[in-house]
Chains A and B, each alone.
Chain A
Amino acid sequence: MVVDSCHGRWAAHLDELWRADSHGVRTVLDLCCGTGLMAKALVQLGYQVTGVDGSSAMLARARHLLPPGTVLARQVLPDLTVDGPFDAAVSTFDGLNYLTPAEFASTVSAVGRRLRPRGWLVFDVHADAMLEFARSHPVVEGDAAGKRFTIRNDVNVRARSCVTRIDVTGETAADTFSEQHRQYFFTDPDVRDALSAAGFGPALVTDEYTDQPASRSTLRSTWICRRGAP
């Protein structure tokens, strides 16, 4: 069984951030929660999590992973109908990169309306170094968890988008699958403008859930901001 331990580490980082909030953070909206690994890590730290995702199949897996009290809803962003207000919203593992820049802006705006004043929005997105990585590595092959994988990246530099095809070959048919993803790479001004238009205050941008400021080698950047002015 391969479950990356990053979720626990990231949740601990979020917990540390939120401990500085004078009102305290208890309720968290997990956008693009997928199979619920991040939600589970947050629940284990005592947060009350609402998870939303566009995939029913992933939500079904999340349902098995999470305690019965956890609200899960199928929502195709930027349409968001869950009720707030939440103390914080998160989106991890570049889930938001599946949105176009316009959809991203609408999503951020919808999320802002569901956060309490000074509520937190923390998310990660691909940085320019990731776009460059995908562009300069049209094929990446290797082995992971006893399976052979091939990733083909087809980058459209002008559109700042990438179609990625993944082929995984295992010993049995059930271990063998292919899937295709299309992601968009936002510019920093894209993100800043969207946050500002949605009423968020200034953001701190770090290197993937660490205290290191984002640099040119940052592959995925973490954006930390709050609704409204200090």
Chain B
Amino acid sequence: MGLLRMAARTAVVAGTATAVSGRVARRQARKYDDQAPQQQEPEPQYDDAPAPAEGGGEDPDMARLQQLAQLHSQGVLSDDEFAAAKAKVLGI
């Protein structure tokens, strides 16, 4: 029961509906739209947003460096932390 409840929370709940995986919710949303063609509400236009990168073929070191650079440029990592973390990735 608890697990099912958790599954419901994760997979389905409004907020959550989309959460676990946007894929599940988007599929449900599409299904719903297919079944309810009379719905007049236009879908929000988010087409200009970049699709999330799959990351599968990406160089993990490069991805890590980009992540660190991002954290540093936003001020989450200090200069020293950025330098140290970068050096660790590069093995220097």
A interface residues (Cβ-Cβ under 8 A, vs B): 1-4, 6, 16-17, 19-22, 34-35, 37, 57-58, 61, 93-94, 97, 126, 129-130, 132-134, 136-137, 139-142, 144-145, 147, 149, 151, 153, 162, 164, 166, 168, 170, 174-175, 177, 179, 181, 183, 201-204, 207-208, 210-213, 215-220, 224-226, 230
Contacts and interface: CB of A to CB of B under 8 A. Distances in A.
Contact of B70 (A164, A211, A220, A225): A211
Contact of B71 (A2, A34, A94, A224): A224
Interface string B73-85: 0111111111011
B7 A145 contact: yes
- In order of increasing CB-CB distance, the 7 nearest A-B pairs are A164-B14, A217-B49, A217-B46, A230-B78, A20-B85, A202-B75, A204-B74
Given A140-B17, A164-B14, A183-B14, A211 B67 contact: yes
A216 B52 CA distance: 12
- Of the listed residues B19, B68, B78, B82, the one surrounded by the most CB atoms of chain A closer than 10 A to its CB is B19
Contact of A219 (B11, B19, B43): B19
Nearest to B80: A22
A74 B11 CA distance: 25
A140 B28 contact: yes
A94 B19 contact: yes
Given A203-B74, A204-B74, A224-B71, A2 B14 contact: no
Contacts, number: 170
A132 B76 CA distance: 30
B18 A133 contact: yes
Q: Which interface class (under 10, 10 to 19, 20 to 34, 35 or more) fits B?
A: 35 or more
B76 A202 contact: yes
B37 interface: no
Contacts of B66: 211
Contacts of B78: 22, 230
Interface in B22-36: 22, 24-25, 28-29, 31-32
A230 B8 contact: no
B53 interface: yes
Contacts of A151: 12-14, 17
20 contacts: A2-B4, A2-B6, A4-B7, A17-B67, A20-B77, A20-B81, A20-B84, A93-B10, A133-B17, A133-B25, A151-B14, A162-B15, A175-B1, A179-B5, A181-B13, A181-B14, A202-B75, A212-B52, A212-B53, A218-B49
